[in-house]
């Protein structure tokens, strides 16, 4: 049959017309979009398939590979996903591959069966060819990587030629054969045995072609040759300008599907819940494909169509082997009543389910739907199935409702990204994403910005994740050209845009997790969007519609969905009586590097403002790609690292997790603001609120812990009555189990921590996982006066030799102060050197990504323009003010001047900042450092105000009483509890892919730096100074600023320590404008603070020294 067809079909590529540069030619011989087909042989087979496929839990994520092991694992996943499907075969594996520089340089007739490909290389399918040494990845955010001249693309258009072969199983004899590509980037043509069988565009949706007539007959063992030509660039690329890597090839699975002559081609499950949710009326629209031209009535003369619903949730409760068929809970029969819908040619099955178990992200109850086609003898001809959930998505004024409740979207945007594979997916890696999301209280995902792998939707159905499914349309680069119209304004692009939306909806329409469709991202707004919105609303009125383009409030969206809108502005919209739609931020809290500051302020507004229903953080994962370094190691690369031009550098690194899914420190803050159990304390009452909409606290165990000045005073389980969804329980301080501890404590500060843990394991975490933890401060019982040192009249040695002041106690401690410079040259404890240089004022930090955002108006640019990054401290004066038997007082005046490399001729008028420092050294070895800072009033906001000193590299044990244990900053510290924590200095460093300010700890009362023998330095707040921001690192500030990749950092010979009276916030509202909130800025105004330094030995502790200065 194949040879007879050779002369009858001509590939669209062979007529001289560049179809890949014609927006009106988007497909050829491509079958209509439809749901994922399984091609089951029986009802039992379909149930067994789902019984095995649903056995997914957090244990699977432990094997997720992020290195070269991912390459074979991707092929294993392709095989796993079709296991148990006798009429589906995967063609995934190693194919022959040749990369031509242009379509015109493709080997002649490479698709012929006789073509010799022995000299070609091999490439795994699925994969992106750039991830295997062919061509190069390109990262751009907005700009197209080629000249904007739609629909034309560059002549230099890398073109991949693929070849593989297959044999049709003899069991498939007499059946139809479909060739199914799950996704190919960006356009392709396929041949079977030299015959062209189809052409398709859209890099994120399936393309399916019937190849029955082009294959060699079953049983001949003759190998069929499949050849594919893939274009890197096509007119479709103009619709795919998303903020991610441009990668090409067959990046999802390739399948052979075998179907009977008459088969189930598509089906659409719908459920209509009773007003009281006591039952659900079920409908399934079924589309039948017949190879002959047959009327609808004749199909019913020869076949019957049925559907059945099975309760998947009951399968795993028996402990042994489940009786799958007995889980049948509803049967749907053909509705033969006349259809009133014009042109409706499908078949409608109807039924009812009593007392349905509803689906939500909190309770993801699922059923298995099986659709059956039988012949007149009752034999099963074809069988299809999928997971479905019974749930209702609806609207109310300013509310999105799921099952009648105004759910809160605690969401994140997710690109498909693997550091080794690019866009190719692995089962365990997708599970890892979901496990981490659920463990950090994320309940919603926006598929940014395209339909994702079919398995992702099943996993979201199972794990419980609300989803916005987004069409593969983004034309962001058109925003910055004045000579080319947006595609949405051009009728010639309407078909291509609608095809992408239709393909998404038709493939994904049965997934319970999808609560809203999205028309795409950042593609302007115009008549084409109105057409897309009209089609979606007509096709599926059971879900909401989302589209941010055009200002987020157009008629084509049911949700006001701005991106990066400020807190005060979203509140203003929510309070607008003329806006009846809910507001859900489609993107917010830009997680680029050390970021996500202010997120708690968004959630204070969301939790307290009717009409605000949450948002989706940008974004889930740092899109770094593994790249070989010169020394043979691998590192995570970003835009430009592959020689890609143009590029947008590290703007692809905006994730809450690193490429290997290690969480950034900011994930703790996300987990905290997203936690479902909220705890607050005011006026003697502790309030515990269950913000769930469906779950009570039955599955939770509550516990408490009390700490006084960092020491645990007591803890225990907290017995609470069942708290219903959206209800609050109150505990009065006088009747609380910690009241006696609080009442009898002499602590200056008393903190109470309330935690909620899971009593039982779930599919995403083991039992005992903490879902919510809140620390509240209980009121002090007495007034505390400022901290002072209780000095003993201890005498000590002191001598001045020239410009050097040496003070100390023999064999205990020694400090050498340079009286010319006003700095410490040496500090020893028990003869061990500790401080190598210091103590200097410091106002500069290594800029973070957010600091750099905004061009000339960025904080970083303003700091550099003001020379804050290059301050040199000149000692204006240094003198011994007082010297007695018991103390020495030294006064220093520093001038912070721009570093010109020449100290001579520096005038006071050149000083940007003047700093008075008074050292008071006591016989006990204590040093009180008093700082008075007077910055020039025309300076920009300062990065920090504090002191810096350097310690010997062996002083590597750090313990502190403050917030932790993880990195935190003034505007990102709500999740960091106040306590006593201990780490190695090297473990403080946070390896952001692009270095900058990192590893800080907020609200520190005291800190110790010690060597392995316990010798070291203690530092604390003093007098009435507030808690400090601290930092200690083997990397200097200059080094963190210099290096462009974490692996480029060079460790110093000592430890740089910062004790900051004030430290600017890290921001996070976006990363392209200076957006630290006012309360976290440091204006250039005078300020004063005091720090106590003290030697520490194994015989003393930071806690004891700190307590000794409290005035009770």
8-state DSSP, 413: E
Tracing tokens 């020491």 back to the chain, one arrives at: 711
1024: its two tokens: 């009435």
Beta-carbon-side half-sphere exposure of residue 310 (alpha carbons within 13 Å) = 23
Q: How far apart are CA 913 and CA 910, in angstroms?
A: 9
Q: How far apart are CA 1065 and CA 1078, in angstroms?
A: 9
Of residues 255, 250, 242, the one with CA closest to residue 132 = 250
How remote is the C-alpha of 530 from its chain's centroid?
Answer: 31
Going from the C-alpha of 692 to that of each of 20, 293, 401, 723, 750, the distances in angstroms are 50, 54, 14, 10, 29
Tracing tokens 């629209």 back to the chain, one arrives at: 285
DSSP code per residue over 219-258: TS-PPEEEEEEEES--GGGGGB--SEEE--B--S-EEEEE
3-state SS string over 905-936?
Answer: CCCHHHCCEEEEEEEEEECCCCEEEEEEEEEC
Q: How far apart are CA 783 and CA 787, in angstroms?
A: 12
Please tell me the total number of residues recorded for the chain in this structure: 1112
Q: How far apart are CA 890 and CA 806, in angstroms?
A: 12
21, 208, 587, 930: the catalytic one is 587
- Establish whether 587 is a catalytic residue: yes
- Helix or strand run (H / E) with residue 851: helix 849-852
21, 427, 522, 914: the catalytic one is 522
On the question of a cis peptide bond just before residue 646, with omega within 30 degrees of 0, the verdict is yes
Q: How far apart are CA 620 and CA 276, in angstroms?
A: 37
Helices 427-439 and 70-80 cross at an angle (nearest 10°) of 90
Of residues 385, 451, 507, the one with CA closest to residue 32 = 507
Q: How far apart are CA 256 and CA 723, in angstroms?
A: 52
Core vs surface per residue 976-986: b (16+ CB within 10 A) or e: bbbbbbebebe
Q: How far apart are CA 891 and CA 865, in angstroms?
A: 31
At residue 76's C-alpha, the angle toward residues 71 and 81, to 5°, is 130
127: its two tokens: 């994969």
Q: Is 207 helix (H, G, I), strand (E, B) or coil?
A: strand
Q: Is 1001 helix (H, G, I), strand (E, B) or coil?
A: strand
Q: How far apart are CA 929 and CA 875, in angstroms?
A: 16
At residue 745's C-alpha, the angle toward residues 743 and 751, to 5°, is 90
- Establish whether 522 is a catalytic residue: yes
1063: its two tokens: 């430290």
Asked if 859 and 943 touch (Cβ cutoff 8 Å), the reply is yes
Q: How far apart are CA 8 and CA 967, in angstroms?
A: 67
Q: How far apart are CA 261 and CA 381, in angstroms?
A: 9
Asked if 729 and 688 touch (Cβ cutoff 8 Å), the reply is yes
Tracing tokens 């009065």 back to the chain, one arrives at: 732
Tracing tokens 């043979």 back to the chain, one arrives at: 632
Asked if 281 and 271 touch (Cβ cutoff 8 Å), the reply is yes
337: its two tokens: 């009543």
510: left (phi over 0), alpha (psi -120 to 50) or beta: alpha
- Helix or strand run (H / E) with residue 381: strand 380-388
Active site residues: 522, 587
């Amino acid at each position: 049959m194949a040879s007879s067809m050779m002369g009858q079909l001509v590939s669209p590529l062979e007529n001289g017309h560049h179809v890949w540069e014609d927006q009106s030619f988007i497909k050829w011989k491509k079958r209509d979009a439809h749901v994922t087909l399984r091609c089951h042989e029986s009802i039992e087979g379909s149930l067994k398939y789902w019984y095995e496929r649903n056995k997914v839990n957090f244990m699977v994520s432990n094997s997720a590979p992020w290195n070269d092991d991912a390459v074979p694992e991707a092929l294993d996943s392709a095989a796993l996903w079709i296991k148990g499907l006798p009429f589906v075969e995967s063609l995934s594996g190693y194919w022959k591959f040749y990369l031509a520089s242009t379509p015109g340089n493709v080997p002649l007739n490479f698709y012929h069966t006789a073509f010799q490909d022995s000299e070609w290389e091999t490439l795994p399918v699925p994969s992106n060819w750039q991830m295997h040494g062919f061509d190069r990845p390109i990262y751009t955010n907005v700009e197209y990587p080629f000249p904007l001249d739609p629909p034309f693309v560059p002549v230099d258009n890398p073109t991949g030629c693929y070849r593989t072969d297959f044999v049709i199983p003899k069991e498939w004899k007499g059946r139809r054969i479909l060739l199914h590509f799950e996704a190919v980037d960006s356009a392709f043509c396929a041949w079977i045995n030299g015959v062209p069988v189809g052409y398709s565009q859209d890099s994120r949706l399936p393309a399916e072609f019937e190849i029955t007539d082009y294959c060699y007959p079953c049983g001949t063992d003759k190998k069929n040759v499949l050849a594919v030509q893939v274009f890197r660039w096509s007119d479709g690329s103009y619709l795919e300008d998303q903020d991610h890597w441009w990668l090409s090839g067959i990046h999802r699975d390739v399948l052979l599907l075998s179907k009977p002559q008459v088969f189930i081609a598509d089906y659409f499950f719908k459920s209509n819940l009773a007003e009281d949710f006591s039952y659900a009326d079920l409908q399934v629209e079924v589309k039948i494909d017949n190879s002959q031209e047959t009327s609808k009535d004749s199909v019913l003369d020869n076949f019957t169509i049925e559907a059945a619903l099975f309760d998947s949730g009951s399968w795993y409760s028996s402990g042994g082997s489940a009786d799958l068929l007995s889980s049948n809970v509803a049967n749907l029969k053909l509705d033969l009543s006349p259809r009133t819908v014009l042109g409706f040619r499908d078949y409608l099955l109807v039924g009812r389910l009593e007392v349905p178990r509803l689906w939500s992200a909190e309770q993801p109850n699922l059923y298995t739907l099986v659709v059956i086609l039988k012949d007149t003898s009752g034999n099963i001809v074809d069988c299809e199935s999928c997971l479905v959930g019974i749930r209702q998505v609806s609207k109310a004024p300013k509310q999105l409702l799921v099952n009648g409740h105004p759910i809160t979207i605690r969401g994140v945007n997710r690109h498909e990204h693997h550091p080794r594979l690019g866009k190719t997916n692995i089962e365990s890696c997708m599970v890892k994403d979901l496990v981490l999301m659920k463990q950090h209280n994320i309940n919603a995902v926006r598929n940014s910005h395209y339909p994702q792998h079919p398995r992702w939707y099943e996993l979201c159905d199972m794990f419980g994740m609300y989803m916005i499914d987004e069409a593969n349309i983004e034309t962001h680069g058109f925003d910055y050209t004045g000579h080319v119209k947006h595609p949405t304004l051009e009728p010639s692009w309407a078909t291509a845009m609608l095809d992408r939306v239709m393909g998404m909806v038709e493939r994904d329409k049965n997934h319970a997790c999808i609560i809203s469709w999205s028309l795409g991202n950042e593609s302007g707004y115009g008549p084409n969007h109105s057409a897309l919105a009209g089609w979606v609303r007509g096709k599926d009125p059971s879900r909401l519609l989302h589209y941010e383009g055009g200002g987020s409030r157009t008629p084509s969206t049911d949700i006001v969905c701005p991106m990066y809108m400020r807190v005060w502005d979203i509140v203003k919209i929510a309070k607008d009586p003329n806006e009846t739609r809910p507001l859900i931020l489609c993107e917010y809290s830009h997680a680029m590097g050390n970021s996500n500051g202010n997120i708690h302020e968004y959630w204070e507004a969301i939790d307290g403002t009717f009409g605000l229903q949450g948002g989706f953080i940008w974004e889930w994962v740092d899109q770094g790609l593994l790249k070989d370094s010169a020394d043979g190691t691998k590192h995570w690369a970003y835009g430009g690292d592959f020689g890609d031009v143009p590029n947008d550098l590290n703007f692809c690194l905006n994730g809450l997790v690193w490429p290997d899914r290690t969480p950034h420190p900011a994930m703790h803050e996300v987990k905290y603001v997203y936690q479902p159990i909220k705890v607050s304390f005011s006026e003697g009452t502790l309030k515990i609120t269950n913000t769930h909409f469906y779950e009570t606290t039955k599955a939770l165990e509550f516990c408490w812990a009390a700490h006084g000045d960092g020491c645990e005073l007591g803890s225990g389980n907290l017995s609470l009555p069942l708290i219903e969804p959206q209800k609050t329980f109150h505990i009065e301080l006088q009747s609380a189990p910690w009241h006696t501890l609080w009442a009898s404590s002499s602590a200056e500060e008393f903190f109470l921590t309330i935690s909620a843990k899971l009593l039982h394991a779930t599919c995403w975490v083991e039992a005992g996982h903490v879902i919510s933890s809140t620390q509240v401060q209980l009121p002090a019982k007495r007034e505390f006066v400022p901290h002072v040192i209780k000095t003993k009249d201890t005498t000590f040695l002191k001598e001045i030799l020239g410009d050097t002041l040496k003070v100390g106690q023999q064999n205990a401690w020694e400090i050498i102060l340079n009286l010319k410079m006003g700095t410490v040259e040496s500090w020893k404890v028990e003869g061990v050197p500790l401080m190598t240089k210091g103590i200097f004022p410091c106002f500069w930090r290594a800029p973070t990504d957010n600091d750099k955002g905004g061009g000339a108006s960025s904080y970083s640019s303003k700091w550099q323009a003001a020379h804050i990054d290059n301050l040199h401290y000149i000692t204006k004066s240094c003198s011994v003010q007082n010297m007695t038997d018991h103390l020495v007082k030294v006064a220093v005046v520093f001038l912070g001047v721009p570093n010109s490399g020449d100290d001579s001729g520096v005038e006071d008028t050149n000083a940007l900042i003047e700093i008075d420092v008074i050292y008071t050294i006591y016989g006990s070895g204590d040093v009180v450092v008093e700082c008075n800072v007077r910055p020039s009033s025309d300076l920009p906001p300062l990065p920090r105000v504090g002191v810096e000193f350097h310690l010997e590299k062996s002083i590597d044990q750090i313990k502190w009483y403050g917030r932790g244990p993880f990195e935190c900053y003034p505007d990102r510290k709500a999740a960091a509890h106040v306590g006593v924590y201990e780490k190695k200095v090297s473990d403080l460093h946070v390896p952001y892919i692009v270095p900058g300010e990192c590893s800080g700890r907020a609200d520190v009362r005291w800190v110790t730096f010690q060597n392995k023998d316990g010798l070291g330095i203690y530092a604390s707040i003093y007098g009435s100074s507030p808690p400090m921001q601290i930092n200690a690192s083997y990397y200097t500030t200059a080094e963190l600023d210099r290096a462009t990749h974490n692996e480029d950092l060079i460790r110093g010979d000592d430890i740089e320590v910062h004790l900051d009276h004030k430290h600017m916030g890290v921001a996070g509202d976006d990363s392209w404008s200076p957006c630290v909130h006012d309360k976290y800025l440091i204006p250039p105004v005078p300020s004063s603070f005091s720090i106590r330094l003290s030697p520490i030995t194994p015989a003393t502790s930071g806690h004891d020294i700190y307590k000794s200065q409290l005035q009770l």
